[in-house]
Every structure is written in C-alpha cells, then in structure tokens.
Chain A
Amino acid sequence: DAMVIQNPRYQVTQFGKPVTLSCSQTLNHNVMYWYQQKSSQAPKLLFHYYDKDFNNEADTPDNFQSRRPNTSFCFLDIRSPGLGDAAMYLCATKQGRGNGYTFGSGTRLTVV
C-alpha cells in the first residue's frame, strides 16, 4: 500500500545530542511537511518542501533543520535537542493542489 512511513516510531536522545528523524513516502507526492505535536495540542507546522523548494515557518527555531535528498525521503534534524523539544513529530505529504494530506504515524521523541 502507498503510504508515509516514519522511522523510528520512538526515539530517545540525550539533551544536546543531535538527532535525525526520517520520513519516506511511496505516494510520489511533491509536497512534504514536518509538524511538531506536543501532548494534547494541535500539530504545528515547522517547515515544508514544495518539490525541492524549502519553506521555513517564521517561528521555527534554528535548532530544527530539514533535508530532502529526493522525492521519496525527507529528514528532520534537531541539532541540539532541549527538553522542550520532546514531542510527536509528524510527516505529511500532499500532491500539488486539490488533494488531501497523508500523515505518517509519527515519531515520538523523548529528550533525557
């Protein structure tokens, strides 16, 4: 089945230790999004790629970076995780306009 896959499902990292979360998709969608969702809150958009064009939200901390080496893969890099970065990180994809978003199951990040 075509889908959005996030790995790992659970990630524990140490305070200040760089961590990378990955997202892959078999849908061949041209837009990929990263959302941060803290407990009992709505998902918050961090940034997205429209094809190769990177779009950063104004309030996304510099600590968060992203890479999209090809259509299928997108990575979220947290350079120096703090305790406040503990959250569920959701990847979503979309094909152009007029279509729905497809979300992955998320990666739950714990910072110790």
Chain B
Amino acid sequence: QQQVKQSPQSLIVQKGGISIINCAYENTAFDYFPWYQQFPGKGPALLIAIRPDVSEKKEGRFTISFNKSAKQFSLHIMDSQPGDSATYFCAASRDYGGATNKLIFGTGTLLAVQP
C-alpha cells in the first residue's frame, strides 16, 4: 500500500515536444504529491506539487494532472527543452497524517530531450 508506481522508466522526446510521465498510488491516505527533478550528481529538487483537492496544477511549462478516483497523477512538460533532460521522480506522502510524513518515491523516469 505504500508503493508509488511510475512509468515509463525512460523517455526520449524531441525538442519542443510534450513529455508525459505517469504515476499511480494505492494508499488513499496520501495527500501530497510532489514531482522532483534530479540532475546527475545533484540532490532532487522540487519541481511542482499537488494536493488531492484539485485536478490540475500548472507552473510555467510544467503541469500536474491528478485523478483521485483512479489514484493516478501525471507530469506534463510542454515545449520540452534539452535542459529538461534529467531524472524525474514522482512521490507521495501523508502530509497531514501524522508525525512521520514519509515521502515515498516512484522508481524514476530518465528523460532525454533531443535537440
């Protein structure tokens, strides 16, 4: 119940295209769903996050779509750029569920944007 499943494992997109990464969770108690971007040799950096009371959140070229009934959420990167090439992790936590607030990560997607 603590798992977050992420797909695809890797993704190649042409410059200017749309990158789409999908995640699914099981624990309905999760109430915070962030996406992290990680470059080689760096720690994960928060990209965008959503809570289950909204179905979509957009920040610049990055959009999270959230489907509470299906227990799925996805990251869309519009107008993908070579600088977006990185590993992307979805995650989930019970942000208001108690003291532990553990962040459960998906397995990661390696995105390569070709020029």
A residues in contact (CB < 8 Å) with B: 4, 6, 31, 33, 40-45, 48, 50, 53, 55, 90, 92, 94, 97-98, 100-106, 108
Indicate which residue in B43, B89, B101, B107 contacts A105 across the interface (CB closer than 8 Å): B43
Q: Is the CB of B100 within 8 A of A42?
A: no
Indicate which residue in B42, B46, B108 contacts A101 across the interface (CB closer than 8 Å): B46
Instruction: Return chain A residues, CB-CB under 8 Å to B34.
Output: 100-101
B34-50 CB mask vs A (1 if < 8 Å, else 0) is 10100001111110010
* B68 interface residue (CB < 8 Å to A): no
The chain A residue sitting closest to B44, CB to CB, is A103
Q: Is the CB of A108 within 8 A of B107?
A: no
Instruction: Return chain A residues, CB-CB under 8 Å to B106.
Output: 42
The 8 A-B residue pairs with the shortest CB-CB distance in the complex, in nearest-first order: A103-B43, A42-B105, A106-B43, A105-B43, A50-B99, A100-B46, A103-B44, A90-B43
The chain B residue sitting closest to A51, CB to CB, is B99
Q: Given that A43-B44, A106-B42 are known contacts, is A48 also in contact with B102, CB under 8 Å in the complex? A: yes
B residues in contact (CB < 8 Å) with A: 34, 36, 41-46, 49, 89, 95-96, 99-103, 105-108, 110
* Least Cβ–Cβ distance between A97 and chain B, in angstroms: 5
**What's the Cα separation between A94 and B34 when bound, in Å?**
13
Extra contacts, 14 of them, besides A50-B101, A92-B43 (Cβ < 8 A), are A31-B101, A33-B103, A41-B107, A42-B89, A45-B102, A55-B99, A90-B44, A92-B103, A97-B95, A103-B36, A103-B44, A105-B41, A105-B42, A106-B41
Q: Is the CB of B108 within 8 A of A103?
A: no
Instruction: Return chain B residues, CB-CB under 8 Å to A108.
Output: 41
Q: Is the CB of B105 within 8 A of A43?
A: yes
Instruction: Return chain A residues, CB-CB under 8 Å to B101.
Output: 31, 50, 94, 97
**What's the Cα separation between A43 and B104 when bound, in Å?**
9
**What's the Cα separation between A31 and B108 when bound, in Å?**
24
